[in-house]
A and B are shown apart, each in its own frame.
Chain A
């Protein structure tokens, strides 16, 4: 069992409170996943020619300023890092791929949580309520966000094994369920150049989407491909730079409920995580059908 949540705003008036609302959703889903928690926020797009990366350091004494100086030497301009608990987000005057390659080579002790134009990922082992406080989640503004509370079944409980998983620029995925053909698929995708950082099954689903998108599929087509190529149980919520999508496996093993108002679209594992949103009592709510892709925003715009 895990809990997943997604909140996509349709009106800018909600942006400033996005973190507060997602935090409320995660707290409701805490019982479904007390092992770890994580979020992806889409916010503050980097200017043209710049990229944004989210990094995690296992060391409490991480010297983010020293890293900034190194990045500056390599890439010219770097904005001061925004540090949140064990994570830091850097905006760098280079292409995301270049920053990723440099970080993987020079700083293998850091985990690259996400890279792209607007995505930021924060995740940590431990109780979701504690995560919400420690990362001051309620302060974070943005246009849309995904969240996850994990009850581990397929791999270890560590920060790296927590969701969301991002394997491509601005793309991320949260998963409730378990996949049974992930080892074979991981080997196949690795040969195609997709980089995996863990042995987790859900990361393979994220990698599968990245691969399909790279090969020219729209997000919708990539998700339809999941129905053919992934074996197992899943409810997915997927974020892109300005899109949001939901997919359940054809047997609908894992729960999902959606709701929509003029202001927002939300999905969650259970309705109680939607009931805490403003205007939920008047929202149109429904259970997403199995094997059907639901998407909002520009679903195919991944860089």
Chain B
């Protein structure tokens, strides 16, 4: 457990070679209500900085395991390393930045906020996305945005097989090649409002070496589910 002396400092710091993940997360849930927190020696540990519900700025110095920053609300979590399965899964709001690469199911079911991955993301990135936005500076693996319902996935590199399989109303933007589209996913016209959305997301993700005009848009053909235009406001 971090000592009260440490908590009073401007930057709170945890060393996961000494402190347990539970001690870190309990401090973030109970003892603190925001501010800058540095986490050292994460050692690939699971569930680092999950369930945050305050405007923290958490910096994690190294690689983490599964579900890092899951269920994040309000906080900004930056990982200076790679992430295991399910980074920012079920995120509600806030920002999660991965400076390295992310494993499978990055941003799964996330409802709000922004997930930025500077490296690559592997399979099932943005699976069942429910309203969050994801920007990947590199490429994504197969089954990206599987059954994604709402939100945007911006991929600056390439996308693997079966992109957007069984897609609902999420918007997918890919700059590079797409190995294959999943069931009911089609390429759609890139109109001005779409380029504007990509430009805005790239700016928020602080990706400044990529031009929004180079992206192509993919979305649902709406043949697999009971979409009706009169219900558009519900999505």
Q: Which residues of A contact B (CB under 8 A)?
A: 251-252, 255, 257, 270-276, 281, 285-287, 289-290
Contacts and interface: CB of A to CB of B under 8 A. Distances in A.
Contacts of B103: 255, 257, 287
Contacts of B104: 252, 255, 287
B82 interface: yes
A251 B45 CA distance: 25
Interface string B106-143: 00000000000000001100000000000000000110
Given A252-B141, A255-B85, A257-B103, A270 B44 contact: yes
Given A270-B65, A270-B84, A287 B101 contact: yes
Interface residues of B, number: 19
B122 A252 contact: yes
B82 to A, nearest CB: 6
B101 A286 contact: yes
18 contacts: A251-B123, A252-B142, A255-B104, A257-B84, A270-B44, A270-B46, A270-B66, A270-B84, A271-B63, A271-B64, A271-B84, A272-B45, A272-B46, A273-B44, A275-B43, A275-B63, A287-B101, A289-B122
Contacts of B101: 286-287
B85 A285 contact: no
Name the residue in A271, A272, A289, A290 with the highest tally of chain B Cβ atoms < 10 Å from its Cβ. A271
A274 B62 CA distance: 13
B44 A290 contact: no
Contacts of A285: 63, 82
A290 B142 contact: yes
Nearest to A291: B142
Given A255-B103, A285-B82, 20 more contacts: A251-B123, A252-B104, A252-B123, A255-B85, A255-B104, A270-B44, A270-B65, A271-B44, A271-B84, A272-B65, A273-B44, A275-B44, A281-B62, A285-B63, A286-B101, A287-B101, A287-B103, A287-B104, A287-B122, A290-B123
Contacts of B66: 270
Contacts of B82: 271, 285
Interface string B56-67: 000000111110
A271 B104 CA distance: 13
Interface string B62-93: 11111000000000000000101100000000
A255 to B, nearest CB: 6
Contacts of A274: 44
Nearest to B142: A290
Contacts of B44: 270-275
B233 to A, nearest CB: 37
Q: Which 8 residue pairs are nearest across A and B when measured between Cβ atoms?
A: A272-B44, A271-B44, A275-B43, A275-B44, A287-B122, A252-B123, A271-B63, A287-B103
A257 B100 CA distance: 14
Contacts of B141: 252, 289-290
Interface in B23-74: 43-46, 62-66
A273 B84 CA distance: 12
Nearest to B42: A275
A55 B92 CA distance: 55
A271 B48 CA distance: 14
B8 to A, nearest CB: 30
Contacts of A287: 101, 103-104, 122
A276 to B, nearest CB: 8
Nearest to A250: B142
Interface in B119-174: 122-123, 141-142
Given A255-B85, A287-B103, A290-B141, A271 B123 contact: no
A162 B64 CA distance: 29
B66 to A, nearest CB: 8
Name the residue in A252, A273, A287, A289 with the highest tally of chain B Cβ atoms < 10 Å from its Cβ. A287
A270 B104 CA distance: 12
Contacts of A290: 123, 141-142
A272 B122 contact: no
Contacts of A272: 43-46, 65
A257 B101 CA distance: 12
A273 B123 CA distance: 21
Contacts of A271: 44, 63-65, 82, 84
Interface string B3-35: 000000000000000000000000000000000
Contacts of A270: 44, 46, 65-66, 84
Contacts of B122: 252, 287, 289
Contacts of B65: 270-272
Interface in B169-191: none
Contacts of A275: 43-44, 63
Contacts of A252: 104, 122-123, 141-142
